[in-house]
Structure 1
Amino acid sequence: MLVLAFFVFTVLCCGCTGEQNVVVVFTSLDKEFSAPVLKRFEKETGIKVKAQYDDEAVKTVGLVNRLLQEHKSGQVQCDVFWNSETSRALFLKKRGVTQPYASPSAKDIPAAFKDPKNHWTGFAARARVLVYNTKQLTKDKLPKSIFELTEPQWKDKVGIAEPTAGTTGSHVAALAVVLGREKALDYFRKLAANGCRKYPGNSTVRDRVAQAEVLIGFTDTDDVFAGMAHGKPINQIFPDADGMGTLVIPNTVMLMAGAPNADNGKKLIDWLLRRETEAILAKADSRQIPLREGVTVPEDGVTLGDIKAMKVDISAVSDTLNKIAPVVRDILDKK
């Protein structure tokens, strides 16, 4: 299926390099959030965007595999990868799939969110949260920590997304780095024994919580904000504020090695990394979190200062991801 998908996209993009004012971008940020931004770029610059979006079931993994296939085949079609997380940005860099580009727009982005060699740059983050059903749970009944979800009162009431795709995988890997592999696996064994249900993606977790199939679940801030904007009876908790904190996951953008439209790719990267773009994403239904100080957010929005961010080595998270995620998937499947 991967080879077929790669072939289809190659056919669709045939002639991309012959067009003088085009850029090809793969993005794993949900289409409902990324497409309006890319259309705005088109309107402001006149550069035609050919976008390949992800699939909720495979999320970032599907696009990463496609980028690897392009790189190995020597038939690179993608110019820019707008990735919805960090771990697989490092993964691609280590495999030579990206090339360095120091965008002038990134000068005021904190160094913690940039690759030292300029292979990727972060912007507009999300945080891992617990989404809960506001009709079923009152604030005095809410957990303060993810570790409380293994207790009897939460039996069969918790949901989580597939850990081998999307930000759930990064969260699982981060817990393994912070807690240690065995302690993290023990946690997921207890969670599974307590009847935690696994769903295809973060938005599915949110929707099942809204429908009260489960009452609380692991997801991202953008999914919760978007659900609230559509009237779903949900809200969110930033867990472990008194302990390890929660994982903050910026979007990342990178230029592909061998990009056929590299100059336009750089223009897109510059545009995405502007303060104005962070403000656009902060005001969108997804309420993404600016990495810079001083970017205006809506009254119900979130800044980095509102969150206790988990302190974790993102390089270690990237190295751990593909080792730990399948193990956790199997634990959840065998509950």
Structure 2
Amino acid sequence: MASCKGLLARPVGAVRGHRLGAIALALTVAITGGLYAAGTRQDANTITLYSGRGESLVAPLIEEFQRETGITVAVRYGGTAELAVLLQEEGARSPADLFWAQDAGALGAVANGGLLRGLPDDVFAGVPTIYRGGRGLWIATSGRARVLAYSPTAVTNDGFPTSVFDLTDPQYRGRVGWAPTNGSFQSFITAMRVEHGDDSTQRWVEAMIANDVQSYRSNTAIVEAIAAGEVAFGITNNYYLLRFQASDPDFPVAQRFFAPGDTGNLVNVAGVGVIAGSANTENAERFVRFLLDRSAQQYFTSEVYEYPITDAVAQNPRLESFARLLEVSPQIELDRLEDLEGTLALLRRAGAL
């Protein structure tokens, strides 16, 4: 596979205030391989992919698949939650053949809506059970962990929270950033609901807002805000900081886990499934297999700083060991993160969206 370095996205400014608006169905659409009209199917040599993964991140892989197979991939990019809602709205009319989601929760929601078809058994060969969707309807493509990013110059050794729940303490007032419209954040909230219940989760969200948490559009923007001194902490995914450090080893941000087992250390996955109404399942399944092949898995860990989901490739040495992940992560089955609608409703009630 051709080198994909330098193609990772880094723009996105911060959004002050806590009400970022409910998810809209009117999406900004980027199409690779030609335009298509919603509700229409492509020819047999074209597959339509709804991608909740960013274009700068996955376009190199999609282009490589097209070169290797001659199959055209028409891509509709958008937020993972937005696309999950769109698929549910479209139902059997959807032109999509595949859904590539940023998190397991959205995949579970789409699967529970009867919108995904079972994948062939051979697709799961060599993939640990933790990375397989329930009923064989989807499969992980890479893994990642939630972390606490922080400013080494603004935080002393005795100033770290033990738990994500500690961030509501007055000492952290106005010093923490989050991205409530982000799919990974929403899956983290779903995990909190699973572990601690809706009432406790809503109280935590409301307490964070009362403690003047700063809202940003993305995890990237959170890390940039820490570097700029806007906030001292941010709850984000492990790989965002590593991307900055790849181009600037002295980038002024660090990251760490909360105490072992804390919900703030959630390990989640990106994953893909074939749409139940796809008229081109053979080529759609070829794309799924491509994402699990050695070259794609090596790309995820080497260039994106995510965890490979097979042992066919060497993990990036800059990542924490998988054993360490298992030690610190909460014991939550990914299939239990499926109630995306319930999480969005909670975030709206609490005033985070």
What is the TM-score when the length of structure 2 is the normalising length? 0.82
Query: Does the residue aligned with 1:129 lie in a helix, a strand or coil?
Result: strand
Q: Distance in 1 between matches of 2:263 and 2:179?
A: 21
Query: Which residue is equivalent to 1:83?
Result: 101
Residues 166-220 of structure 1, C-alpha deviation per residue, up to 9 Å, x if partnerless?
1111101111111222222332333222221222232222222222211111111
1:20-71 alpha-carbon deviations (Å, 9 max, x no partner): 42222111112221111111222222222221222xxxx2122112222332
State yes or no: 1:69 paired with 2:89.
Answer: yes
Cα deviation digits, residues 282-323 of structure 1 (max 9, x gap): 001x2011233463122212342221221124343323x322
Give the corresponding residue for 1:101: 119
Q: Distance in 2 between matches of 1:242 and 1:312?
A: 10
Say whether 1:48 aligns with 2:66.
no
Cα distance, 1:124 vs structure 2: 0.8
Structure 2 residue 247 is matched with structure 1 residue 247:
no
Aligned partner of 2:256 in structure 1 is: 237
User: Counterpart amino acid of 1:172?
Assistant: I
Q: Give the structure 2 partner of residue 282 of structure 1.
A: 301
Measured on the aligned residues, the alpha-carbon RMSD in Å equals: 2.8
Aligned to 2:224: 207
Identity %: 24
Give a deviation string over 1:87-140, Cα, whole Å, max 9, x none.
Answer: 111111111211111252421111122134221111311111111123433555
- Of 188, 202, 210, the residue aligned with 1:171 is 188
Q: Which residue number in structure 2 is paired with residue 60 of structure 1? A: 80
- Taking structure 1 as reference, are residues 110 and 4 closer, same or farther at Cα in structure 2, changes over 3 Å only? closer
Q: Indicate the residue corresponding to 1:304 in structure 2.
A: 322
CA distance in 1, matches of 2:112, 2:200: 28
2:241 is equivalent to residue 228 of structure 1 = no
In structure 1, the residue matched to 2:17 is none
**Are 2:107 and 2:271, in contact at CA under 8 Å, matched by a contact in 1?**
yes
Instruction: Return the alpha-carbon distance in structure 2 between the equivalents of residues 82 and 18 of structure 1.
Output: 18
User: What is the CA–CA distance in structure 2 between the aligned matches of 1:215 and 1:96, rounded to whole Å?
Assistant: 43
Cα pair 2:205 2:352 within 8 Å, conserved: no
Q: Does the 8 Å contact 1:23/1:48 carry over to 2?
A: yes
Q: Name the stretch that deviates more: 259-268 or 112-121.
A: 112-121
Corresponding position of 1:2: 25
Whether contact under 8 Å (2:104, 2:335) holds in the other structure is no
Q: Which residue of 1 aligns with 2:49?
A: 25
Gaps of 5+ in 2: 1-23
CA deviations over 1:242-277 (Å, ceiling 9, x no partner): 655621111111001121322110100111122442
Residue 85 of structure 2 aligns to which amino acid in structure 1?
Answer: N
Flag structure 1 segments of 5+ consecutive residues without an equivalent: none
- AA paired with 1:258? G
**Structure 1 residues 191 and 18: alpha-carbon distance in aligned structure 2, compared to 1, 3 A threshold:** closer
Within the alignment, does 1:218 sit opposite 2:235 as a pair?
yes
Secondary structure of 2:136's counterpart equals coil
Corresponding position: 1:113 with 2:131: yes
Number of residue pairs matched?
A: 323
Q: TM-score, normalised by structure 1?
A: 0.86
